[in-house]
Chain A
Amino acid sequence: MSTATTSSPANRAVVPATTSSRATRVLGWLTLAGFAVLVALAFAWVPEDTRITEQGDVVGQFDAVRLMFVHVPSAILAYTGFGLTFLASLAYLRWRTDWWDIMAHSSAEIGVVFGVLTLVTGSIWGRPTWQTWWEWGDVRLVTALVLVLVFIGYLAVRRIPADAAVKARRSAVIALVGAVNIVIVNRSVDWWENRTLHQESTLLARKIRDETLFTLSFSFAVGMALFAWLLLHRFRTAYLESQIEELEVQEALAERRAEADWADHERGQP
């Protein structure tokens, strides 16, 4: 970060007044258009989930299956966000640059947003299909919940008023320990009660209709575009925040100097 450009008013324009650029505007509109297409595909094109049993009964998830196009991409984006936080924290501890620190912070925030969205949509989906909002003992559910809780704690640390370097270093260690912890939680819940309701990946098992598969893949693409858009804006906001802090320090210093000069002038000294 350069400090030379922040002291005089003429240079203040160096810090941009917006977090958007031509690239993010294009990306934003593309994401919005993609989302509109996704809604149309998910509600109009994909058929409801039904199967006919040998007895002639119609079974399946019916319209509830459409939640897949929000739930699955949310989960992937949440894990992408947390994974990025982990990598950025490692990189911060190695290189100690603000860039990695801001990257870790921004991706953690987005990860928590999508993590909560995953839990909420999963819960809503679970009610009609599993007849329960929540299932203790389900590895994926409990791991996701603890993961979100760990990163909510991480964000709490990031909000504390403290020296920037101290906060950055401790946050990085917390992110690393949190990632290690997720593995332990996952294993322990698996041993605790392995009565999982959550299905295995349908993508890998290839038990999925072509329309559904295409829409799901499309939802990943829209999700990734949304993630990139959010990350760019969040990163720039955080960068501007750090610039403002720097500016305020510089201005406070300049004011103190001006006061000292005025006092000298009053006493008749140059």
Chain B
Amino acid sequence: MIDPQYIRNFSIVAHIDHGKSTLADRLLEFTYTLSRGKMVEQFLDMMDLERERGVTIKAKAVRLLYDAEDGKRYVLNLIDTPGHVDFTYEVSRSLAACEGVLLVVDAVQGVEAQTIANALLATENGLEIIPVLNKIDLPSADPERVKREIEEGLGIDAREALLVSAKTGEGVKEVLETIVDKIPQPSGDLKSPLRALIFDSYYDPYRGVIVFVRMVDGVIKAGMQIRTMATSQLAEVEEVGIFRPKMELTSELSAGEVGYLITGIRDIAQTQVGDTITDARNPAETRLSGYREPKPMVFCGLYPVDGGEYENLREALVKLKLNDPSFIYEPETSHALGFGFRCGFLGLFHMEIVKERLEREYDLELVVTAPNVACRVVGKDGLSFFVRNPSDFPSPGRAQKIEEPYVSAVILTPPDFIGAVMELCQERRGEFKDMKYLSENRVEIHYHLPLGEILLDFFNQLKSRTRGYGSLDYEHIGYRESDLVKLDILIGGQPVDAFSCTVDRDKAYSRGRSLVDRLKGVIPRQLFEVPVQAAIGSKVIARETIKARRKDVLAKCYGGDVTRKRKLLERQKMGRKRMKQIGKVEIPQEAFLAVLRVDEKR
């Protein structure tokens, strides 16, 4: 049992690319948790996908042992958090397990939108915030300016901000000392009945569900009967332990500690992240707070290209859901695509990650329909209901009122791009709220925007219009009335429900035109002519024609190489198989993705 006096639980939060993972690596190295030789670069980013994308998806916890200047040995639990706007929810869960955070800010780039969002989350959770200026080894680092930005933008005292280069290791010791000094020891009662917060979980095919917990009260050890307080699942603890950074068995975990536990639970749905674990024989009275229901805001249809893969897709979704409780799914059928699922995600980026994991880890080929938001429709009868799928959208004149979700968006940019940012927001039906200078070269712009307008290519546009300097964060602010219409796409005269979307009435024409153009570009010629049309109700507003295929013939059967010929033909056949047959038309997967991009011709 460790005296809570010597425990510090903390997270590192930062805007993407500000050096969070590198700093984590240095802390591990400095405390001999991981030696440089053994170091897989950026150990905490475990999944391939994360490494490729350079972001972390799953929070992990690692125990560091640090012999401080005061001669005492401290247990520092580093809880890693994801670094993207879509994962605000996951960050909040991890923060609920901490008493303090290192707020890492790039000493060159300065405060960014996620820096602000993360600082706010930390403040809301009542955490001690230690500002850390990273990358001070770079010649263009400007710590004084960045300190001012922190003070003005975040209202945090940055006079004692730590100056660090995670790359060279400079200032890392000071970081550890400050953690010991400034971050409060965990509160909690060893003698109270067990309460442990599930802040993350992970499905391991061999071990079952591995649950990451922050111990709040009491003690947990193998053999105990436990109960999850929200979902009331009973289970026996098989193993408890910590990550250093490899899994290490311990005899118990006590109040204040962070670690993992394995129970007999293999079924995903039984360990709700955010739930509280208690002793089944001596239960606590109240659940821990700090958990909020993840609210998916972005929806899309996921369909297997091959209808026979439906069952596999379902199983994969069930498994993924364990590692990622923030997305939801329910079966749906599409006239065009057959059986599939309507899935809800925290955002577009989140959707991309889930899709890629399904394809990569579960070897599924998927068709993804254009993302949309859930609209609230008030019918003529006054009853309101939510529409998550554009195909369910009421036909013109059948609804009294339609509302769509709005977000309050904060965009940070150098002043040079204020015009470009405002133009983008106006194009996306934004409502200007406020603007303030954080420093002479950093402006915070505040807009209210329909979430649906952010879904389609907003972030890429922001990046390209601000030469990569702009950053974005947003939070949901509820529903507002809008003049939305359903835009249908007809291919070969047949409406393809998977392409339907809801758009602002004023934008329907330009959107219809750009969709039709795009589809013409990505749908290959067929054996016959195929019209592609955009329509509102029964009114066609844009049309293009894909000409019939005319030539598809192989050259010389060269020197009798039938094998090569056969391979070419097989490849061609496979290519066709990977397309989705809709009516008589074969539509490639790219077509469904092409709909995700909006042409902004300006």
Chains A and B form a bound pair: no
- Residues on A lying within 8 angstroms of B by beta carbon are none
Binding site for A on B (CB under 8 A): none
